[in-house]
Amino acid sequence: MNFLFFDGIVRKSINSLRDIFMFNMFNGGIHKEVTVSMFANLPRRDQDSILQDLYDKGYNGKELAKFFGLQESSVYNRINAHRGRGGAQPA
């Protein structure tokens, strides 16, 4: 096998592993744990405001419940799902 070819494969594999590590660290690992911890330490009204904002941006109750470790029914009890998405409309 040509050394340069092999070296390219190794470098590509290392870059792929680095990408996988960074993806897991920020999209599922430490980033999620920090976000959920910060959310849990907020006052209830601030938590509700965040849930409402995320819901208005298109996340559904099931996604929010799974991410924050809440019951889906609890998420829907804490937001106003009937007002539509998109936040307040200008007068």
pLDDT tens, N- to C-terminus, the chain (91 residues) = 455 555 555 455 555 555 655 555 555 677 788 888 999 999 999 999 999 999 998 999 999 999 999 999 999 999 987 655 555 544 4
Instruction: Look at the alpha carbons of 58, 60, 61, 64 in this order and tell me if their dihedral is positive or negative.
Output: negative
pLDDT at position 55: 92
Considering Cα of 71, then 76, then 77, then 79, what sign does the dihedral take?
Answer: positive
The domain limits of the chain are 1-41, 43-82
Q: What is the pLDDT of residue 90?
A: 45
